[in-house]
């Protein structure tokens, strides 16, 4: 089981723009490396990190030795006595386990701001931080660079005990190759999200390198600040960064708190508590000694949990699970251009993805589907439908076209069927061929990825099946009602004849 990483109450996906600078468990531990990078503010040292070499800091996620060192350092640095300790756990490999009875509604952690990493944290080399701030680098890339800077300094960084306890290779789809994404997630919409994220991270690094690193090579030597180390630092941020509502939404890494694993059965989340002046969470259930303590990473689907944290909950255990269904305009539609322009005016694209849950689908999806099936005679309604298909619209509940409902439901059902067939082909056909020779480590990795993908695809297909069942039942009821009305009408005709 992977190390189930950490948490937020709200989604933290950074919204990278084309210019990223101005926009805002390790299942298979890499071998240890005896040589760490040590850099000074104006001296470039160390050997280049390539994709074939592991990151020379961090640990295997099952490591309890580094966790114990982290706990001691935190205590020496001002972390109050805790009712929890880092132990090996069944769900997540490492986690925080109750040492004493914990009551429901009790506040735990109390991590002081001095032990939190944020955009305001002091750099070991202040000149580096000043350079990045002069270029107005946003919090995410700033923190990614900060992590690499502090990690490269090994024991000379005040954060060395924390960084040594971080996974050397975070669980994240950032670490899946393109061929693995194309093979194992071919049926899932999360594949596109993963590719977009990887592209964003690469673009952000390239932009930093071009604008800043290349101009200050003594401060940012490529031997340390390269694509592989940025993939590591962004993997840490995606899986551990939290947003603190009571600190004006500040994003931060919270050592100790980020050892908490996720459960869909709890709703508690991290935040800053002004009265105790620390990062805390309030339990929404009681715990006995020896029980693992959980928090919520937010109301995320299984695909989102795999994307950032590298795990998929057991089927049926995540009430927030969803799958995205793509709807699109037909280019052969006589009104294709008019419909497309209407959508563009309201910031909606084609295809457009909508989240389906077992409990239903969004009103925006129905409005979009109405537009897709609308005949030329309904041109005067295109603008209204396009506006309702946008999540910026506030008047969706009044959108209703009874004359289009049957055709609309059939269209959505057909789209579900198309997606289901892709999932079934993958699940029933298996993954890539096993004919290629591979090491035991590669074989284990393949088995893990195949299992994660199979779990995700099974849960997403289940939602599509449920949606299709509801659609077909409604269509059946509509059509049986029409049939009864037609039979009754024909009976009246015969009577009057």
Q: Count Cα neighbours of 470 within 13 Å in the Cβ-side half-sphere.
A: 13
Q: What is the pLDDT of residue 50?
A: 37
Tokens (6 digits) for 7 = 């948490």
Do 65-309 and 323-486 share a fold? Answer: no
- When pLDDT is cut at 50, 70 and 90, the band that residue 62 belongs to is low
CB 184 within 8 A of CB 447: no
pLDDT of residue 325: 96
- Lowest average pLDDT, out of 23-27, 164-168, 421-425, 434-438, goes to 23-27
Bridge partners, residue 43, by sequence: 40
Its pTM stands at 0.82
| pLDDT beyond 80 at 416 | yes
Q: How far apart are CA 222 and CA 290, in angstroms?
A: 46
Task: Tell me the pLDDT band of 468, cut-offs 50, 70 and 90.
Answer: very high
User: Is 34's pLDDT higher than 90?
Assistant: no
Looking at residue 479, what is its pLDDT?
86
Distance CA 1, CA 64 (A): 16
Work out the angle between the directed axes of helices 402-429 and 440-496 (0-180°, nearest 10): 150
pLDDT at 400 over 90: no
CA atoms within 13 A on the CB side of 451: 14
pLDDT at 28: 26
As a whole number of angstroms, the distance between CA 45 and CA 22 comes to 30
Report which of 308, 150, 145 is spatially closest to residue 211, judged by C-alpha positions: 145
- Amino acid 393: pLDDT: 56
When comparing pLDDT for 384 and 391, which is higher? 384
| Segment (H or E) for 279 | strand 278-282
Q: How many residues does the chain have?
A: 497
The H or E element containing residue 11 is: none
CB atoms within 10 A of CB 448: 16
CA distance 239 to 112: 21
One DSSP character per residue, 65-117 reads HHHHHHHHHHHHTTPPP-SEEEEEETTTEEEEEESS-B-TT-EEEEE-GGG-B
Does the domain at 323-486 match CATH 3.50.50.60? Answer given as: no
* CATH value of 65-309 in 1.10.10.10, 3.40.190.10, 2.60.15.10, 3.90.1410.10: 3.90.1410.10
Per-residue model confidence as pLDDT tens digits over 36-52: 333 445 433 333 333 44
Give the pair of three-digit tokens for residue 441: 């480590």
Domain ranges of the chain: 65-309, 323-486
Distances (CA, A) of 277 to 6, 216, 245, 383: 21, 38, 14, 51
Q: Read off the pLDDT of each residue in 111-137 and give the average, rounded to a whole number.
A: 96
Q: How far does Cα 374 stand from its chain's mean position?
A: 35
The pLDDT tens digits of the residues spanning 246-292 come to 988 899 999 999 999 999 899 999 999 999 999 999 999 999 999 99
Instruction: Tell me the mean pLDDT in the region 75-79.
Output: 93
Q: Taking the CB of residue 349, how many other CB atoms lie within 10 A of it?
A: 11
Reduced to 3 states (helix: H, G, I; strand: E, B; else coil), residue 295 is strand
Comparing 21 with 217, the larger pLDDT belongs to: 217
pLDDT at 364 over 70: yes
User: 369 phi and psi, to 5 degrees?
Assistant: -65, -35
* DSSP states of 235-268: HHHHHH-EEEGGGTTEEEB-TTGGGPEE-TT---
pLDDT of residue 438: 77
Residue 392 reports pLDDT greater than 80: no
Residue 2 has pLDDT above 70, yes or no: no
pLDDT at 53: 57
């Amino acid at each position: 089981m992977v190390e189930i990483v950490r948490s937020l109450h709200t989604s933290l996906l950074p919204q990278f723009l084309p210019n990223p600078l101005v926009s805002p468990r390790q299942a298979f531990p890499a071998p240890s490396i005896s040589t760490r990078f040590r850099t000074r503010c104006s001296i470039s040292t160390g050997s280049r990190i390539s994709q074939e070499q592991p990151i020379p800091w961090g640990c295997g996620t099952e490591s309890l030795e580094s966790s114990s060192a982290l706990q001691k350092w935190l205590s020496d640095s001002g972390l109050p006595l805790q009712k929890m300790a880092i132990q090996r756990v069944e769900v997540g490999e490492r986690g925080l386990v109750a040492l004493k009875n914990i009551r429901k509604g009790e506040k735990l952690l109390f991590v002081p701001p001095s032990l939190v990493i944020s955009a305001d944290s002091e750099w070991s080399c202040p000149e580096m931080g000043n350079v990045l701030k002069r270029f107005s680098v946003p919090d995410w890339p700033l923190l990614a660079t900060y992590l690499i800077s502090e990690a490269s300094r090994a024991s000379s960084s005040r954060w060395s005990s924390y960084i040594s306890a971080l996974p050397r290779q975070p669980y994240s789809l950032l670490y899946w190759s393109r061929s693995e994404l194309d093979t194992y997630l071919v049926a899932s919409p999360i594949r596109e999200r993963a590719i977009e994220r990887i592209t964003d991270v690469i673009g952000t690094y390239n932009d930093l390198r071009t604008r800043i690193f290349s101009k200050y090579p003594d401060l940012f030597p490529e031997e340390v600040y390269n694509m592989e180390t940025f993939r590591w630092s962004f993997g840490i941020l995606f899986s551990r960064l939290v947003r603190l509502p009571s600190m004006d939404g500040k994003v931060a890494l919270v050592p100790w708190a980020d050892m908490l694993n996720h459960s869909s059965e709890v709703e508690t989340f991290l935040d800053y508590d002004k009265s105790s002046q620390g990062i805390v969470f309030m339990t929404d259930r009681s715990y006995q000694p020896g029980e693992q303590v959980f928090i919520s990473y937010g109301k995320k689907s299984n695909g989102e949990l795999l994307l950032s944290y590298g795990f998929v909950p057991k089927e049926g255990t995540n009430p927030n699970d969803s799958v995205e269904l793509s709807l699109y305009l037909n280019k052969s539609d006589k009104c294709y251009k008019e419909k497309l322009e209407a959508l563009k005016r309201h910031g909606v694209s084609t295809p457009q993805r909508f989240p389906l849950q077992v409990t239903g689908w969004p009103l925006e999806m129905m409005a979009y589907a109405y537009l897709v099936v609308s005949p030329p005679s309904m041109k005067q309604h295109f603008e209204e439908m396009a506006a309702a298909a946008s999540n910026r619209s506030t008047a969706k509940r009044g959108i209703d076209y009874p004359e289009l409902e049957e055709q609309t439901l059939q269209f959505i059902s057909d789209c579900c069927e198309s997606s289901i067939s892709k999932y079934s082909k993958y699940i029933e056909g298996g993954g890539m061929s096993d004919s290629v020779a591979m090491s035991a480590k590669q074989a284990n990795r393949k088995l893990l990825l195949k299992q994660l993908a199979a779990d995700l695809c099974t849960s997403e297909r289940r939602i599509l099946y449920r949606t299709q069942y509801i659609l077909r039942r409604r269509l059946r009821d509509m059509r049986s009602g029409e049939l009864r009305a037609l039979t009754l009408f024909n009976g009246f005709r015969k009577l009057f004849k």
